[in-house]
């Protein structure tokens, strides 16, 4: 296979522009350095996540929000398994006394690259049916990893700086991100969470979570007095993750404040497929941004409580223009 990259320009869901590049195996485009550097060391695997986005639609707000963007909390009747619940789900709920849906969240995977959708579905399969006991700290990496062919994973997109390359297990950060948001809506304690180096296309900055073998995990603790049951599944390219348990989750509203912005730049590169003098924009580019995030948690009959989630910094993504040589 020649060392050339096929480019796909993908346009907008709910007012934002998504883009990604299909790359020949082993090919890495020559772009200006972006994103957090990958630590070097024996046995360290690359982060299993990728893709970038220009902007995002507004936050859907509380769990009763009517407008459904490509991410957000979902009511029980909208879960893919609600109409015909699996027998195992019913048995596990009865076994631990999970009388109610505590929280559920979904994210849409726009235009999957390589075997990204397969990897997300496989990780969801490994996640489904897990019980988190009271006081237990749950490790996502321990449950859905290792990301190997022996475990059924295939090649999917992975961030390496500003480059997108295929690696085995690529794309499973979608699971970490969806689980992170479900944990927040269930009002559980986040023990470990890492943002991506650049924005992802399925949630706004400050609401993503990255996962990488030997490098990054997503962990949370069940601080309730009853077991929690995790259930996950796909409907098309949408991932759904739900918690079943006994406690009533509060109303949760997200807040974000932009603290800084770093301007993007333009990279021009020759293309052998364009006629001389012609140009096309491969990537629209996106400024880097630093955001502070928090949630306002409100239980019935109690005053709202603001909980700080920290500050995340995302590197800028360059605008890439190809021209006919």
Asked if residue 244 is part of any domain, the answer here is yes
In-domain check, residue 261: yes
Task: Establish if 69 belongs to a structural domain.
Answer: yes
> At a CB cut-off of 8 Å and minimum separation 6, what does 324 contact?
270, 271, 274, 275, 276, 277, 278, 279
pLDDT in tens, 264-323: 889 898 988 899 989 988 766 778 899 999 999 999 999 999 999 999 999 887 777 889
User: Who has greater pLDDT, 34 or 215?
Assistant: 215
First vs last Cα of the chain: how many Å apart? Answer: 22
What is the SS3 assignment for 45?
coil
Domain of residue 251 covers: 6-324
Number of independent structural domains in the chain: 1
Opening angle at CA 170, ends 164 and 175, nearest 5? 120
The residue that leads in pLDDT, 33 or 170, is: 170
Residue 325: closest CA among 285, 283, 260, 268: 268
Contacts of 84 (CB under 8 A, 6+ apart): none
Quick check: helix, strand or coil at residue 181? helix
Q: Write down the pTM of the prediction.
A: 0.76
Query: How far is 109 from 195, CA to CA, in rounded Å?
Result: 18
Least confident span in 40-44, 166-170, 263-267, 274-278:
40-44
Report if residue 55 sits inside a domain: yes
């Amino acid at each position: 296979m020649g060392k050339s990259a096929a480019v796909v320009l993908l346009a907008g869901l709910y007012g934002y522009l998504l883009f990604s590049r299909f790359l020949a195996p082993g090919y890495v485009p020559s772009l200006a350095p972006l994103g957090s550097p990958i630590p070097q060391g024996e046995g360290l695997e690359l982060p299993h996540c990728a893709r970038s986005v220009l902007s995002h639609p507004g936050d859907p707000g509380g769990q009763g929000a009517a407008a459904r963007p490509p991410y957000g909390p979902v009511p029980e009747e909208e879960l893919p398994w609600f109409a015909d619940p699996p027998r195992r789900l019913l048995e596990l709920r009865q076994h631990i006394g999970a009388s109610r849906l505590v929280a559920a969240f979904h994210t849409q995977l726009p235009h999957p690259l390589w075997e990204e959708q397969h990897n997300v579905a496989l990780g969801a399969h490994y996640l489904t049916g897990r019980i988190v006991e009271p006081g237990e700290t749950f490790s996502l990496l321990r449950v859905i990893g290792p990301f190997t062919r022996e475990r059924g994973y295939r090649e999917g997109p992975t961030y390496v700086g500003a480059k997108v390359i295929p690696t085995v297990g690529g794309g499973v950060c979608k699971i970490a991100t969806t689980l992170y948001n479900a944990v927040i809506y269930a009002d559980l304690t986040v023990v470990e969470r890492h943002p991506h180096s650049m924005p992802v296309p399925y949630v706004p900055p400050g609401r993503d979570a990255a996962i990488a073998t030997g490098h990054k995990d997503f962990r949370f603790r069940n601080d309730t007095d009853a077991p929690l049951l995790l259930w996950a599944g796909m409907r098309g390219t949408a991932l759904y993750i739900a918690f079943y348990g006994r406690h009533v989750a509060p109303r949760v509203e997200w807040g974000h404040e932009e603290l800084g912005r770093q301007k993007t730049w333009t990279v021009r590169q020759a293309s052998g497929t364009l006629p001389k003098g012609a140009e096309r924009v491969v990537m629209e580019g996106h400024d880097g941004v630093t955001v502070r995030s928090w949630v306002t948690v409100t239980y019935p009959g109690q005053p709202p409580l603001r909980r700080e989630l920290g500050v995340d910094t995302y590197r800028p993504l360059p605008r890439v223009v190809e021209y006919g040589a």
